[in-house]
């Protein structure tokens, strides 16, 4: 239960759940580098955005205040459970999550698969700290609140708003290390644009999300451990043994179409009888991976479809909360 500010009865009630990141970062006045992420609290952040109270009634809660490299599965479970719980309140219309950009795409996909509401859930952040000249956080936050408060956003899954673009939590990727236009979905395109507080939707993801997924995190204290192995020329196959000791599933960030050496293929085969599924994704950043008769000889080898390695890891981990059956996991990777 959260106490909702419903000051203006004509406006929607939006809840901001803050986790930190550069959007809440502070540093040397004017500079964009060498700052501390996760330093401002959500109240100061909200107060820094002009006319936010003209587009929605804002309530907020600080879930964490960390650099997003320090986000953990505990934070994910807390966030998803908070959204699932608060969304049952009839006086809540939508959510905005403020987050560091480095791992924002992972949290957005996790929420896309695990929140159980049709109410809008928007994730945003900033590339420049709040103290920089032309900080991008205030506009990203303003547009995220506007999107969360718009009826067109209902039932669209978890979305990301960044630099005037709207992206699906499934397809969004960080594509630049420092520019403010740091997110897009490469070949898969954006869902639409934001101009000031108005969304212009153009596309829709057909992949199941939120209320239509089979994943339920209620009551879970942790998620099955899934690790990622990055393949490169002459990569040591022993890394697979090392990761397999600690993991219930593996993702390989393969070359090209999710490929790797014959030494790695042999290692993956060895994991078949140990019950460890291995998802093949690609380090290229775009494209689709389908069954490859030369590589997917062992039943535990699963094509990762269009998911980037960090997102394939999330889906595999959630799949493992439901099943250990390789063909079921393959079905999940084709469907989501
Ligand atoms: N390191 C920061 C973070 O992910 C970067 C950012 O937010 O832009 O928290």
Is 101 one of the annotated active-site residues of the chain?
Answer: yes
Kindly give the residue spans of alpha helices, DSSP state H, lying in the chain: 42-47, 73-86, 104-114, 137-148, 238-246, 262-270, 309-320, 326-335
- For the Cβ of 185 lying below 6 angstroms from any atom of ligand 1, the answer is no
CA of 139 to the centre of ligand 1 (A): 17
Catalytic residue among 19, 22, 131, 306: 22
Helix (H, G, I), strand (E, B) or coil at 107: helix
Distance (Å, whole) CA 336 – CA 334:
6
Please name the fold of domain 13-212.
Rossmann fold (3.40.50)
CA of 258 to the centre of ligand 1 (A): 28
Closest ligand 1 atom, CA of 66?
A: 9
- For the Cβ of 303 lying below 6 angstroms from any atom of ligand 1, the answer is no
Of how many residues is the chain composed? 336
Q: Which of 102, 103, 129, 176 to mutate to test the pocket of ligand 1 (most atoms within 8 A of CB)?
A: 102
Closest ligand 1 atom, CA of 103?
A: 4
Residue 100 near residue 37, CB atoms below 8 Å: yes
Give the model's pLDDT for residue 1. Answer: 87
Closest ligand 1 atom, CA of 25?
A: 7
CA of 267 to the centre of ligand 1 (A): 35
- Indicate the pairing of strand 249-254 with strand 183-184: unpaired
Question: ∠67-68-72 over CA atoms, to 5°?
Answer: 115
User: Residues annotated in the binding site for substrate, as ranges?
Assistant: 68, 101-102
Helix (H, G, I), strand (E, B) or coil at 333: helix
- For the Cβ of 21 lying below 6 angstroms from any atom of ligand 1, the answer is yes
Dihedral (CA of 148, 151, 156, 157) sign: positive
Distance (Å, whole) CA 57 – CA 139:
17
Residue 160 near residue 188, CB atoms below 8 Å: no
Residues of the chain with CATH 3.40.50.40: 226-335
Residue 209 near residue 118, CB atoms below 8 Å: no
Half-sphere CA count of 176, side-chain side, radius 13 A: 13
Distance (Å, whole) CA 163 – CA 149:
18
Give the model's pLDDT for residue 293. Answer: 87
Closest ligand 1 atom, CA of 69?
A: 4
Distance (Å, whole) CA 326 – CA 313:
15
Residue 284 near residue 312, CB atoms below 8 Å: no
CA of 265 to the centre of ligand 1 (A): 35
Kindly give the residue spans of alpha helices, DSSP state H, lying in 27-183: 42-47, 73-86, 104-114, 137-148
CA of 41 to the centre of ligand 1 (A): 15
CA of 112 to the centre of ligand 1 (A): 20
Between helix 104-114 and helix 309-320 the angle, nearest 10°, is 30
Half-sphere CA count of 320, side-chain side, radius 13 A: 23
Scan for tokens 């070949």, then name that residue. 187
Catalytic residue among 19, 32, 101, 210: 101
Please name the fold of domain 226-335.
Rossmann fold (3.40.50)
| Burial class of residue 81, CB neighbours in 10 A (0-12, 13-18, 19+) | middle
- For the Cβ of 67 lying below 6 angstroms from any atom of ligand 1, the answer is yes
Q: What is the chain's pLDDT, residue by residue, as a tens digit (336 residues)?
A: 899 999 999 999 999 999 999 999 999 999 999 999 999 999 999 999 999 999 999 999 999 999 999 999 999 999 999 999 999 999 999 999 999 999 999 999 999 999 999 999 999 999 999 999 999 999 999 999 999 999 999 999 999 999 999 999 999 999 999 999 999 999 999 999 999 999 999 999 999 999 999 999 999 999 999 999 999 999 999 999 999 999 999 999 999 999 999 999 999 999 999 999 999 999 999 999 999 988 998 999 999 999 999 999 999 999 999 999 999 999 999 999
Is 98 one of the annotated active-site residues of the chain?
Answer: no
* pTM beyond 0.85: yes
Residue 96 near residue 16, CB atoms below 8 Å: yes
DSSP string computed for 225-255: -EEEEE--TT--THHHHHHHHH-SEEEEEEB
- For the Cβ of 68 lying below 6 angstroms from any atom of ligand 1, the answer is yes
- For the Cβ of 124 lying below 6 angstroms from any atom of ligand 1, the answer is no
Residues of the chain with CATH 3.40.50.1170: 13-212
Report residue 133: phi and psi, to 5°. -65, 135
């Amino acid at each position: 239960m959260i106490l909702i500010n419903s000051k203006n009865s004509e406006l929607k009630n939006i809840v901001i759940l803050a986790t930190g990141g550069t959007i809440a970062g502070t540093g040397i006045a004017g500079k964009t580098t060498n700052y501390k992420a996760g330093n401002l609290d959500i109240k100061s952040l909200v107060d820094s955005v002009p006319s936010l109270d003209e587009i929605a009634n804002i309530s907020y809660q600080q879930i964490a205040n960390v650099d997003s490299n320090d986000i953990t599965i505990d934070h994910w479970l807390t966030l998803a459970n908070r959204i699932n719980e608060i969304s049952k309140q009839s006086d809540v219309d939508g959510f905005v999550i403020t987050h560091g950009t480095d791992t924002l795409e992972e949290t957005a996909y996790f929420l896309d698969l695990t929140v159980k509401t049709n109410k809008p859930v928007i994730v945003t952040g900033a590339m420049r700290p709040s103290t920089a000249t032309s900080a991008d956080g205030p506009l990203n936050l303003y547009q995220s609140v506007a999107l969360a408060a718009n009826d067109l956003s209902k039932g669209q899954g978890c979305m990301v708003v960044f630099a005037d673009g709207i992206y699906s939590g499934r397809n969004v990727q960080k594509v630049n290390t420092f520019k403010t236009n740091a997110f897009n979905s490469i070949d898969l395109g954006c869902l639409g644009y934001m101009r000031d507080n108005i969304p212009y939707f153009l596309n829709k993801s057909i992949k199941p999300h939120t209320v239509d997924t089979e994943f339920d995190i209620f009551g879970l204290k942790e998620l099955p451990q899934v690790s990622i192995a990055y393949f490169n020329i002459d990569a040591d196959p022993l890394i697979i043994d090392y990761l397999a000791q600690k993991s219930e599933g593996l993702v390989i960030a393969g070359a090209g179409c999710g490929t790797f050496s014959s030494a790695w293929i042999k290692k993956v085969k060895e994991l078949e009888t140990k019950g460890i599924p291995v998802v093949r994704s690609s380090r290229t950043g775009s494209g689709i991976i389908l069954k490859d008769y030369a590589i997917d000889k062992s039943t535990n080898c699963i094509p990762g479809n269009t998911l980037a390695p960090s997102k394939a890891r999330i889906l595999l981990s959630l799949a493992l909360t439901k099943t250990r059956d390789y063909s079921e996991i393959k079905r999940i990777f084709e469907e989501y």
